[in-house]
Amino acid sequence: MTAVITEARLIEMEGALLALDRVAVGRLLAAASPLSHVEHLIVPVLERIGAKWEEGQVSLSQVYMSGRLCEELVDSILPPADFSRKSVPPMAIAALDDYHLLGLRLVYSAMRASGFALINYGRTDIAQLVQLVKADGIRILLISVLMLPSALRVGKLREALEAQGCHLKLVVGGAPFRFDENLWREVGADAFGNTASDAIAVVTRLCEEAT
Amino acid sequence: MNAEIMTSAQRIGTAMSHREPDRVPFLLPTVLRGAREAGLSIRDYFARPEAVAEGQWRLRAKFGHDALVGFMYGAVEVEAWGGEVIFRDDGPPNSGEPFVKHPDAIARLQPPRIRDLPCLLRVLQLIRLLKERAGTEVPVLGSVISPFSLPVMQMGFENYLVLLHEHRDRFEQLMRLNEEFCVEWANAQLEAGAGAIAYADPVSSPTIIPRDLYLQTGFVVAKRTLARIHGAVATGFASGRCLGIIDDVARTGTVGVGASVLDDLADIKAACRGRLTVMGNLNAIAMRQWTAAEAETRVKDAIAKAGPGGGFVLTDNHGEIPLQVPDDVLLAIAEAVREWGRYPLDWVSSHGS
């Protein structure tokens, strides 16, 4: 079934999210249910908000609060373990060596609000993360970092994963990657997301490539 | 014509008075690098103010920048509040697990007492040592985290954004506590010999919160706080944008702003001209991969955009240059400033930028 989400509806949703108008967002989501339609409403709107953040037109607090609101409301429609969430390769997200978890939460909220199921490992170090990834059979791993040394450690993570036979897709994001556009390649990542909504597009592409 | 005739203090003072000194002043905030110079771990280095002072002095001798940094690490403030600091050998000490777990816990917080806290007393000792050595020739900069931005470390970024949006009464309570500490901490640094205070306020950046929320929160806090600090204050946004709030920031009482690479430096300079000194905006992350030629190009470009008329200090756009940036890049930056930063900047009119 093809989702029919008009431009006017997308604009309305964007406005409601940026204004943190929970009632209006809930009404728009309810009208768009089932999931396939919710996805066609939320994903483009979160992409627009992400692009506007990149251009300096909206702020990170708006990105975070709108993603959080979407996630909460989608969870009320679709419980976290609902079988009708998207069927995707096992995937997870983690923050490397860092207590600043906002970046991770931004991506996690946007992904879940878009119907993806993924494991949130929270703050981890390389050794712990490799064990978790191996045990869970993760195929797509999203890494969020804040500091340059943590970003550079992604290279060590890649080596440790390969040494354990974990040949997965590694997607990275966070400030050091935004300020040095070549860094993601240098550390051996497969892709880089500038914004939380970029992560949706990148993961969607990786899922398509995997099938 | 080629001789540098001013001291660093005169150079920065002239630039901050929106006049042209002998050359563009520059600052390479390379606090961590001093540990390497001293052959100490970062934890041991910051435990010894005399080693940090010596490190700052050696780094200035090496790169020739125009100020000494009386700063150790930002997380020292959260340490003062009883929070955890995590040391690592490849980067700055970071704040650990946030210690305000719930908005109601704010009611039980007490501002730290500076005289009781070795971590803060070490910073004051560092400033005294630097001032003793620098005299009136080189300014010593102090630093505080704004009361509005400190909660990111006190309670975590997510929880703080929720507090800001949904618990405004508790937010106000936290601001009053943080303001008391910030004012006392800034004034203690000025008393110890700091010539000015850097006010790190990244949460106020439009990168983080929208301007209308800033006007209700970070702006009001900055205005109240800066009015009680007994010296010059310059505001930084730790790589965040500031163009959209320049007029507001100018009304907080600050004398300068840190410019991000995300903003166009020429636009920032135009918005600040004659009222705020612009500091920035070299990309300290990308700098790791620069060649000497690229460093020269970046320096020239920044000087062409913001140098004319004074009111400009060339520095990085965050406030700490990572250890991973090679010394050769910093030496190339320093050389380029000396080559292209001499006033009058006659070459600028023919520059392509």
Reference A9, options A30, A34, A28, A26; nearest CA is: A28
Q: What is the three-class DSSP state of B235?
A: strand
- Residues in chain A, how many? 211
In angstroms, the CA B230 to CA B183 distance is: 9
Q: What are phi and psi of B217, to 5 degrees?
A: -130, -85
Is A149:A183 a contact under the CB 8 Å cutoff?
no
- What whole-number distance in Å separates Cα of residue A63 and Cα of residue A70? 11
CB atoms inside a 10 Å sphere around CB B136: 10
Residue A188 burial (CB count, 10 A) = 16
What is residue A73's predicted lDDT score, i.e. its pLDDT? 82
Q: What is the mean pLDDT of chain A?
A: 88
Q: Where residue A50 falls among pLDDT bands split at 50, 70, 90?
A: confident
The mean per-residue pLDDT over the stretch B153-176 comes to 95
pLDDT tens for A1-13 read: 445 688 999 999 9
pLDDT confidence of residue B181: 98
Reported as a single tens digit per residue, the pLDDT across B34-81 is 999 899 999 999 999 999 999 999 999 999 999 999 999 999 999 999
Chain A residues whose beta carbon lies within 8 Å of the beta carbon of residue B94 = 98-100, 147
Helix axes B157-166, B168-192, angle to 10 degrees: 120
Count of residues making up chain B: 353
- Stretch A98-103: mean pLDDT: 81
The domain A91-210: what is its CATH number? Answer: 3.40.50.280
SS3 B242: coil
Nearest to B207 among A60, A65, A183 (CB): A60
Q: Count, in order, helices (H) and strands (E) of chain B.
A: 15, 9
Average pLDDT score over chain B: 96
Chain A to chain B, count of Cβ pairs less than 8 Å apart? Answer: 85
* CB-based contacts of A2, cutoff 8 Å, min separation 6: none
CB contact under 8 A, A59 and B209: yes
Tell me the longest C-alpha to C-alpha distance in chain A.
51
Rounded CA-CA distance B335/B98 in Å is 42
The C-alpha angle B149, B155, B156, rounded to 5 degrees, equals 80
- Location of structure tokens 């929106």: B18
pLDDT at A1: 44
Considering CB atoms only, which of B95, B262, B289 is closest to A99?
Answer: B95
Buried b (16+ CB within 10 A) or exposed e, B216-235: ebbbebbebbbeebeebbbb
Q: Residue A59: which of B157, B206, B322 has the nearest Cβ?
A: B206
CB atoms A99 and B94 under 8 Å: yes
Rounded to an integer, what distance in angstroms lies between the CA atom of residue B117 and that of residue B82? 10
Query: Residues B221-254: pLDDT tens digits?
Result: 999 999 999 999 999 999 999 999 999 999 999 9
Tokens of A119: 């494991």
| pLDDT value of position B262 | 93
pLDDT at A114 over 70: yes
Q: Which fold has domain A7-77?
A: 1.10.1240
B263 within 8 A of B245, measured Cβ to Cβ = no
What tens digit of pLDDT does each residue of A161-186 get? 999 999 999 999 999 999 999 999 99
Distance from CA of B245 to the nearest CA of A (A): 12
Hey, where are the domains in chain A?
7-77, 91-210
pLDDT of residue A35: 64
Name the closest residue on chain B to residue A186, using Cα atoms.
B289
Q: Return the structure tokens found at B50.
A: 């005399």
Band (B132; pLDDT cuts 50, 70, 90): very high
Q: What is the DSSP string of chain A?
A: ------HHHHHHHHHHHHTT-HHHHHHHHHHH-SHHHHHHHHHHHHHHHHHHHHTTSS-HHHHHHHHHHHHHHHHHHS-TT-TTS-----EEEEEES-S--HHHHHHHHHHHHTT---EEEEEE-HHHHHHHHHHHT-SEEEEEE-SHHHHHHHHHHHHHHHHTT---EEEEEEHHHHH-TTHHHHTT-SEE-SSHHHHHHHHHHHHHHH-
* H-helix or E-strand spanning residue B1: none
What CATH number was assigned to the domain covering residues B8-350?
3.20.20.210
Stretch B316-332: mean pLDDT, rounded? 95
First-to-last alpha carbon distance for chain A, in angstroms, is: 21
> Any idea where the domains of chain B sit in the sequence?
8-350
Alpha-carbon distance B307 to nearest alpha carbon in chain A (angstroms): 24
Flag whether pLDDT at B110 surpasses 90.
Answer: yes
% of chain B surpassing 90 pLDDT = 96
User: Roughly what angle, to the nearest 10 degrees, separates helices A22-32 and A60-77?
Assistant: 50
CA angle, B112 as apex, B110 and B116 as ends, to 5°?
135
Contact status, residue B304 vs residue B16, Cβ threshold 8 Å: no
- What is the ipTM for the molecules in this complex? 0.90
Helices A148-163 + A126-136 axis angle, to 10: 50
> What pTM did the predictor assign?
0.93
- For the ranges A30-39, A95-104, B83-92, B256-265, which has the lowest average pLDDT? A30-39
Helix (H, G, I), strand (E, B) or coil at B262: coil
pLDDT over 80 at B353, yes or no: no
Chain A positions touching B165 (Cβ under 8 A) are: 20, 61, 65
Q: How far is B335 from chain A (nearest CA, A)?
A: 23
Residue to substitute from A18, A96, A100, A105, interface B, most B β-carbons within 10 A? A100
- Report pLDDT for A80: 58
The per-residue pLDDT for A87 is: 64
CA distance B249 to B236: 10
Q: Is the pLDDT of residue A83 over 60?
A: no
pLDDT at B352: 58
What pLDDT, in 10s, does the model give residues B181-230? Answer: 999 999 999 999 999 999 999 999 999 999 999 999 999 999 999 999 99
